[in-house]
Structure 1
Amino acid sequence: MNAPLPAKQGRRRLLPTSLIGAILSGHSVLGLAISALIYLICLSGTIVVFAQELERWEQPAGPVLTTVSPDAIDRGLSEIHAKAGSAVRAISVLLPRSATPRLVFVGGSVEGEGNQWVADRGGRLIAPVSHPITDFLVALHANLHLPRLAGLAVVGLIGVALLALLMSGVLAHPHIFREAFTLRRGGSLRVQEADLHNRLGTWGMPFFILVTLTGAVLGAFLLMFGGMAATAYKGDFRRALTEIVGPLESREDKTSAAMPSVAPIMAFMRAQEPAAQIQSIEIQHPGTRGQTISVIFEEAGRLTHDQRYIFDADSQVIFSPRTEPRSIGSRALLSLPPLHFGWFGGLATKIAYGVLGLALCVVTSSGMTIWFARRRDQGRPVPAWERFWAATAWGQPAIFAFTAVISLAGAGDHALFAWMVLTGLAYGTAGTALPVAVFEAAFRWSAAALMAALAIMHVINWRGDAQDPVAWAVDAAILVGAALIAASAMSAKRS
């Protein structure tokens, strides 16, 4: 969406000028066509990098645990089994880990939806799990809240389009790497935005390619997997999943039996896999003679975090990753989510992903700003489109903050409806005759005010009850974000 810097005389281009012009034109057209969706997916994805921290922020009263005893696990499994009822196919427990130091019991499969409860150190269920804000943002990023397969298809195609934009941007600017340190300030808006667009695009290119490629491949795979499960496996997704992660279902024997104890199984795991960290334990067909116990664990230094052992009702191993290792293809597929979201290297990696994710949002937004500036320079301004973009670039942060506020107030079930209505109103007002600067400033100040209100409201709601220090760190980050947006609004007014 921007013109390349003039080439130095006497230096031969790698590509003909006509081809570079055609690539640049295609780059601009593609960017204009889907910029709003790209921005929405990038912005929500940047926030979702911190999904685990957001879940803890939404429910900070949950006990923060580092270890838990087998007796506590047994107690919680028995209690969740009683709550779920004898007809439930599976129950499970999610054990405390560094990113999620909670003990959570699920009255359903780990892979599917179920009745989830936070438990205390003794395994007693104390509160239902509730994180509607995080759930809303995750679904928005993953499938735009569309029907699952259709949403995956749309998001996957957007990922492919973004990858094409990145590649065409490089090809359209033959000197982009030579000019990697050029950042001209104080001149025309178009030149400043072009340099910002190109420099961020250059330095962030490895990351941008990584997240777009992994996202596109993951979306395409999930779409194909859904189609395969619906046809070849007649809609049995768990059976189809066994081709990738190993056996999930056990033999069915409905003869009543006592619930198993996890103590001998955890002792076996400590002896067999001393460096492993257990993520979860799932019991298939609990309370029957055919029940099996799956222990899912992660190994240090591996991106695939769901190796598993499976035990029968007598705690005997019936599946082991040592004897039946995964194929290279399945390991590669299972490494995509942590690579895409940055969930593999601790908080420092997440922060790096967050900063680079924001950089990708800036690259997207600056591309639009360059196009608007070019139109103005040519005497063909498009103020309606500028207002439309302001409703996207600054309206969406404000709308996200508002949906979080109403969720925090107890109306989390209406978050999607509120987001749809407010997004529609924001785009509807883009057709008014308001000056672009006023329109954009209104959204910037709204985003800053709503984010500040969100953090303050959260502190007031949970004062005296929060046990998780991450809650206060997230509140501080939200306030910093509000201050930065307010500063940008004041800077824009001065310019």
Structure 2
Amino acid sequence: MASSIWPKSSKARVDRSLSAHSVMGLVISAALFIVCLSGTVAVFEDELGWWEKPVAGAVETVSPQLAQTTAESVIAQQPGTSHLYLYMPRQNWPRFVVGGDDGLETADTNGELTGEYETPWNDFLIHLHYYLSLPTSFGMIVVAILGVMLVAMVISGFLAHPRVFRDAFRFRRKGQARLVQADLHNRLSVWTSPFTLAVALTGAMIGLFTVVALVLAQTSFDGDPRALSQSIFGDEPAADETPAELANVGAALTTLREMAPEADPFMVIVHDPETAGQHVSIYGEHHDRLTYGEMYEFDADGNYTGHAGFADGELGQQIAMSTYRLHFGDFGGLAMKLAYGVFGISLCMTIAAGLNIYFLKRAEAGREMPRLSAAWASLIWGAPALLAVTLVLGVLGIGSGMLTAVYWLGTLGLAGVALVWADAIVTGRRMRLLLGVGLAVAVVVHLALYAGYYGNPYVWLTSAGLAALSAAFLGMSLKRVHGRRVSSLVSAE
């Protein structure tokens, strides 16, 4: 027999690793599942945001002259704003969104403002993933800790399974339910471990930045958080509030095109517009780099004054500015987003199967927990079902605050109903039915409200995708169950 490339492990170490893995899984599974689920959906936030409010047509390019005209329109509408933003069209996002302190609006190919850019469901989704709907600073730390624990679970999972590589392609789909779930959990966790580690580490880095920044400011920057921020994001000139003409955004874009044609501008920020101290920051995407973008600085006349070094500066700075795109798969176009979507679903299935194994082990030992296993089923299928329900409400114009309340109260309500049902299979089937119906209603309501905008391929393709998912989940919910002890938490059974 060929020897395994995995180092030999003593039974004691395996048992300790498995115990640590199980304890962490029991502690964080519910919250971690919601974070991973919302993150998987948030990979497509650009597409879903446009679908949610498709009132503006596509804008493929914005000339420097058009950018200047639009900036002047924003200032006329929002005088006194401290910052002016122009979000330029980019790959897979042909939109032109502009605004200031009082909010964002879409703009057309002529630079005319066409309406408010409000996507309450998208806002709710991002807040759910970033903060678990908690207050921002505290919530981000909580989510970051979940990321750290996910990394620990991956490592402890490998240590707890010394035959992990030998059994990498062993996948039993029939037989004892616990073994089926164990194979599903182990195989998916191994195959997706590079993705899981990358997402968990970058998520933890993003979330713990506030804590790390406070520590670094005290230890390396004499307690000055501003000095730390300047070392990473660049220094900002001192403010001079003397009135002046609006900065020449068009000249800055022209200068950037001449000096760095490889940088594709996707965001323009005018700091302190219409003051003598105003300056222009342009984020340019380098398609051959993973960094979020390089920030180029210009004065009010459009003269180049320097860049931050996100793409060619210190290694730590480049790493810090690469975490966002690596975490959300915001590189490589739609194909990479689809890959992240598949990996994200696999991660959710891994988490679901992990706790399934726990409940099935207890059942085999004669200590079945039907109410808690049903509650777990209500979370696994009820969490996405409630995303569909809130999507319907978001399309109807309900604000993100109310969507948050509906989601969490609904989560508690579904769990309570599942405790009464005390049957994981029935619970899973009914939650899938709710999910399928919710997605179908969302598509129908959206079509009724925005039928005139379905000439936009981004709109009808998203609706088609949601309709396909609805049909799949409805089919799964109506599938006859054979064998009451086969868990339905992560499969159609």
**TM-score, reference length from structure 2:** 0.91
> Partners in 1 of 2:475 and 2:410 — Cα distance?
24
Q: CA deviation at 1:35?
A: 0.7
Q: CA deviation at 1:78?
A: 1.1
> Partners in 2 of 1:201 and 1:51 — Cα distance?
25
Which secondary structure does the structure 2 equivalent of 1:493 belong to?
coil
> Partners in 1 of 2:424 and 2:275 — Cα distance?
66
Q: CA deviation at 1:289?
A: 2.1
Q: Deviations over 1:360-414 (max 9, x none)?
A: 0001111111111111111110011111101210110111111111111111341
Kept in 1: contact 2:108–2:114 (CA 8 A)? yes
Residue 450 (structure 1) aligned with residue 444 (structure 2)? no
Which secondary structure does the structure 2 equivalent of 1:405 belong to?
helix
Which secondary structure does the structure 2 equivalent of 1:117 belong to?
strand
Q: Which moved more, 1:418-427 or 1:328-337?
A: 418-427
> Partners in 2 of 1:184 and 1:123 — Cα distance?
58
> Partners in 2 of 1:63 and 1:98 — Cα distance?
16
Match of 1:427 in 2: 415
Residue 339 (structure 1) aligned with residue 322 (structure 2)? no
Q: 1:240 to 1:459 in 2, by over 3 A?
A: farther
Give 1:346-365 correspondences, 5 Å limit. Answer: 346-365=333-352
Q: 1:214 to 1:179 in 2, by over 3 A?
A: same
Match of 1:400 among 381, 384, 387: 387
Q: CA deviation at 1:117?
A: 0.7
Which secondary structure does the structure 1 equivalent of 2:20 belong to?
helix
Residue 25 (structure 1) aligned with residue 43 (structure 2)? no
Match of 2:294 among 297, 301, 307: 307
Match of 1:59 among 46, 53, 56: 53
Q: CA deviation at 1:243?
A: 2.4
> Partners in 2 of 1:325 and 1:333 — Cα distance?
12
Q: Which amino acid aligns with 2:254?
A: A
Q: Which moved more, 1:402-411 or 1:421-430?
A: 421-430
Which secondary structure does the structure 1 equivalent of 2:399 belong to?
helix
Residue 242 (structure 1) aligned with residue 214 (structure 2)? no
Q: Which amino acid aligns with 1:335?
A: S
Give 1:115-194 correspondences, 5 Å limit. Answer: 115-194=103-182
Kept in 2: contact 1:60–1:471 (CA 8 A)? yes
Residue 85 (structure 1) aligned with residue 79 (structure 2)? yes
Give 1:214-229 correspondences, 5 Å limit. Answer: 214-225=202-213
Residue 38 (structure 1) aligned with residue 25 (structure 2)? no
Q: Which moved more, 1:324-333 or 1:234-243?
A: 234-243
Match of 1:3 in 2: none
Match of 1:389 in 2: 376
Match of 2:486 in 1: none
Kept in 1: contact 2:265–2:285 (CA 8 A)? yes
Kept in 1: contact 2:85–2:267 (CA 8 A)? yes
Kept in 1: contact 2:87–2:96 (CA 8 A)? yes
Q: 1:213 to 1:324 in 2, by over 3 A?
A: closer
Q: CA deviation at 1:188?
A: 1.3
Q: 1:404 to 1:12 in 2, by over 3 A?
A: closer
> Partners in 2 of 1:351 and 1:324 — Cα distance?
26
Computed over aligned residues only, the root mean square deviation of the Cα atoms, in angstroms, reads 2.7
Q: CA deviation at 1:233?
A: 10
Kept in 2: contact 1:149–1:223 (CA 8 A)? no
Residue 320 (structure 1) aligned with residue 307 (structure 2)? yes
> Partners in 2 of 1:186 and 1:178 — Cα distance?
20
Q: 1:227 to 1:152 in 2, by over 3 A?
A: farther
Q: 1:229 to 1:459 in 2, by over 3 A?
A: farther
Q: State the number of aligned residues.
A: 482
> Partners in 2 of 1:25 and 1:65 — Cα distance?
55
Kept in 2: contact 1:62–1:468 (CA 8 A)? no
Residue 72 (structure 1) aligned with residue 93 (structure 2)? no
Q: CA deviation at 1:226?
A: 6.4
Q: Which moved more, 1:218-227 or 1:279-288?
A: 218-227
Which secondary structure does the structure 2 equivalent of 1:463 belong to?
helix
Q: CA deviation at 1:241?
A: 3.3
Q: CA deviation at 1:212?
A: 1.1
Kept in 2: contact 1:250–1:284 (CA 8 A)? no
> Partners in 2 of 1:324 and 1:175 — Cα distance?
41
Match of 1:465 in 2: 453
Q: Deviations over 1:189-222 (max 9, x none)?
A: 1111111111111111111111111111221224
Residue 275 (structure 1) aligned with residue 262 (structure 2)? yes
> Partners in 2 of 1:11 and 1:318 — Cα distance?
54
> Partners in 1 of 2:3 and 2:217 — Cα distance?
59
Q: CA deviation at 1:53?
A: 1.1
Question: Which 5+ residue runs of structure 1 have no aligned equivalent?
Answer: 1-6, 109-113
Q: 1:459 to 1:10 in 2, by over 3 A?
A: closer
Kept in 2: contact 1:149–1:226 (CA 8 A)? no
Q: Which amino acid aligns with 1:477?
A: G
> Partners in 1 of 2:145 and 2:253 — Cα distance?
43
Q: 1:31 to 1:10 in 2, by over 3 A?
A: closer
Give identity over the alignment, percent: 34
Which secondary structure does the structure 2 equivalent of 1:106 belong to?
strand
Q: Which amino acid aligns with 1:411?
A: I
